[in-house]
A and B are shown apart, each in its own frame.
Chain A
Amino acid sequence: MASRITQRPRDLWGRALGSLSAVLVALSVTMIFLYVPSDQVQGAVQRLFYIHLPAAWLAYFSFFLIFVSSIAYLARRHPRWDRLARSAAELGFVFTTIVLLTGSIWGRPIWGTWWTWDARLTTTLILWFIYLAYFMLRAYVSDPERAARYAAVLGIVGFVDVPIIHMSVRWWRTLHPQPIVVRAEGPAMPESMLLTLAVTMVAFMVLYLFLLVEKYRVERMKDELAELRLQHSG
């Protein structure tokens, strides 16, 4: 039975994106570890940056995607928008976790601490909590249509709130300066680093698109399965 499911014909998009992201991720990993030189000040740990930055970008982009599909869902009430929001939320949560983890690992040797209540860090942590709330809200609502509506409401309110959270946290810090380990500002980035970052960025975006397409497909199958179950039980 399992083999029949895996043999389900996949469309060209999924295959193309999958192969392309595999190649690009392999290329960027090679560049991060073999091509790009180590940072003179920070050493090897700086290589995390090439993963950290694209992940951060996608973590916030996911929330934007949730915002747009939440509005579309409330306006049109088509389940496809909710599926998109669900898929983006799961990816956003993964990438936010990656950002927090890589940042923490980098911060330990460079800042001398795993965590500091800097504005960007705090905002990303709160973003992570909002994602968590989003999943909990969905999980605790039994009716799927209601879960979709509630999640859309949270998606809209949350997205509008994130910049305000960032602003308030920044003011909170600027008004109350604390002796924190100052980030060593290195020289302008050499070309090889920029190139590596660009390749990784593209690789992450293609990978993201691939995961989004696949996740969306899984969500659609889940919906179909739920519908079939309903038909056969009723």
Chain B
Amino acid sequence: MIAARQIYAIVRKDLLLELRAREQVVGMGVFALLTLVTFNFAFDLTGADRAASGSGALWVAIMFAGLLGMGRAAAIERQQGAWEGLLLSPADRGTIFLGKLASALLFIGIVEALALALFTALFALPVLRPMVLLVVGLGTVGFGTLGTLFSVMAATTRAREVLLPVLLFPLALPVVISSVRATTLLLTERQAEVGPWISLLLGFDVLFLGIAYLVFGHAVEE
């Protein structure tokens, strides 16, 4: 219960900071929308088979925006010793990780809501359905877990903006593949085949949540 309160405190702090400074969500949201609009020109997202490339465009928008947001969040923590303060707090390292992950998921979630709404309107694809939202949720957790771990590491390096995608994209490949495939299957009304992908996402999330929780302490020793 103490851990839950500590996680809440971290999320509250991040939310408060975001409400005052508005450095993350607005930027991420605009970026995600611009990605979707740009994809519209890169691929033909109006044809009959737009579901296949559409889900790809949606996920690229979500992941690029998430990458941007998580990198920004880690950079903000580095300012004026905020991160040291957090580490000195009585919360243990695993709990800090869960707190930072919860904030990241909250911010990415807001951006996703925006992106999904716009996606539905622009491309006339029915993405606002429980199963699609489940896939979006599971994919975001998997992506966010590795992203939170690596963004904290990358933030202390010399080339953090470059390093985060280099670390994250190869390792998040299973999330990319399963999310895009599952979304495509759902958008093309092939619900029967979506099961294995959802299991893969679920397995990925549970496994890497566990590993990240355990190794996070080693990553943030200052």
Q: A residues engaging B (CB < 8 A)?
A: 74, 126, 129-130, 132-133, 136-137, 140-142, 146, 149-150, 152-154, 156-158, 160-161, 164-165, 167-169, 171-172, 175
- Over the window 118-136 of chain B, the binary record of Cβ atoms lying under 8 Å from chain A Cβ atoms (1 yes, 0 no) is 0000000000000000000
Residue pair A157, B156 in contact (C-beta under 8 Å): no
Pick from A141, A156, A171: contact of B211, CB under 8 Å? A156
Q: Is the CB of A168 within 8 A of B157?
A: no
Q: Among A150, A157, A175, which residue has its beta carbon within 8 angstroms of that of B193? A: A175
Cα A83 to Cα B23 with chains together (Å): 40
- Quick one: which of B164-207 are within 8 Å of A by CB? 166-167, 169-171, 173-174, 177-178, 181, 193, 196-197, 200, 203-204, 207
| A153 and B219 form a contact (CB under 8 A) | yes
Q: Is the CB of B218 within 8 A of A130?
A: no
Q: Which residues of B contact A (CB under 8 A)?
A: 146, 149, 153, 156-160, 162-163, 166-167, 169-171, 173-174, 177-178, 181, 193, 196-197, 200, 203-204, 207-208, 211-212, 215, 218-219, 221
Residue in A133, A141, A153 whose beta carbon sits within 8 Å of that of B170 in the complex: A133
Chain B interface SS verdict (over half)? helix
User: Given B170, B197, B207, which contacts A129 in the complex, CB threshold below 8 Å?
Assistant: B170
Alpha-carbon separation in the docked complex, A165 to B170 (Å): 9
B143 to chain A: closest CB distance in Å? 13
- What are 14 A-to-B residue pairs whose CB atoms are below 8 Å? A126-B173, A137-B157, A140-B159, A146-B156, A153-B149, A153-B153, A153-B218, A153-B219, A157-B171, A157-B208, A161-B171, A161-B208, A169-B177, A172-B177
